[in-house]
Amino acid sequence: MTGYLFRTVRSVLGGVAAAVIGISMMADPAEAQSGQRVIVGERYVPTIWVDPDGCEHWVMDDGWEGYMTPNVSRQGIPVCRRGNVCGVMNSDQLFATDSAHINAQGRARLMDFFRKTNAISYIITGHTDSRASDEYNLDLSLRRANSVARVAAQSGARIADVRGYGERMPKAANTTAAGMQQNRRVEIICIR
């Protein structure tokens, strides 16, 4: 009985496979004669995505489900780019007090910066002084970093990540006006 069941299943599966091959070959007689199958559809172009740590990933997205795998060297080591702070923009020169809107002069300066740096991608971080609450400063710094990221995207730059640190990463003490001015900044990290 087991042999009979096996032969029946094999026969049915063989028939299904033959039918599928026949249908695919009937779709285009030229394909049937050449013995090659051509699938017509969208063209999928793989790309490289750089994560916020600077490591590369091979990416393919066909619209239904995506595929991503780390890009590794022949030794199996992940390919990661070095990131360094390549630009520090004083918030007082870009934004009005308590605002995330970039002024025209600051916008032109940023566009020029992103066109000239030639990095693979950027991480943009916003920082504030400590004059308001921690929660408010986190929100303001993130809004300002996002404003800079929008200008970067408009200039054709790739953005890996946008972060707002508020008052949590000061460059100087918040006890003097000069120290607070140093802390109000947007840092741009270039991944090369």
- 82-96 per-position pLDDT tens digit: 677 888 888 888 998
In a shared domain, residues 146 and 177: yes
In a shared domain, residues 185 and 118: yes
In a shared domain, residues 153 and 186: yes
- Please, which residues have CB within 8 angstroms of residue 113's CB and are 6 or more apart in sequence? 87, 188
In a shared domain, residues 185 and 119: yes
> Which residues, in sequence order, are bridge partners of residue 67?
60
Strand arrangement of the beta sheet that strand 121-127 belongs to: 83-90, 185-191, 121-127, 159-166
The residue from 52, 80, 108 where one domain ends is 80
In a shared domain, residues 107 and 148: yes
In a shared domain, residues 67 and 162: no
Say how far apart CA 23 and CA 17 lie, in whole Å: 10
The residue from 80, 110, 137 where one domain ends is 80
Judge if pTM exceeds 0.75. Answer: no
Helix 134-154 vs helix 104-117: angle between axes, to the nearest 10 degrees? 60
> Residues 102-152: pLDDT tens digits?
999 999 999 999 999 988 889 899 999 999 999 999 999 999 999 999 999
Domain of residue 19, residue span:
2-34
Please answer whether residues 92 and 184 qualify as being in contact, where contact means their C-beta atoms are separated by less than 8 angstroms.
yes
In a shared domain, residues 94 and 111: yes
In a shared domain, residues 107 and 140: yes
In a shared domain, residues 60 and 93: no
Residue 5 has pLDDT above 80, yes or no: no
The DSSP-derived string for 2-63 is HHHHHHHHHHHHHHHHHHHHHHHHHT-HHHHHHT-----SPPP--EEEE-TTSBEEEEEE-S
In a shared domain, residues 163 and 103: yes
In a shared domain, residues 52 and 111: no
Please answer whether residues 166 and 134 qualify as being in contact, where contact means their C-beta atoms are separated by less than 8 angstroms.
yes
CATH code of the domain containing 94: 3.30.1330.60
Number of domains in the chain: 3
Say how far apart CA 107 and CA 134 lie, in whole Å: 27
In a shared domain, residues 26 and 89: no
- Please, which residues have CB within 8 angstroms of residue 35's CB and are 6 or more apart in sequence? none
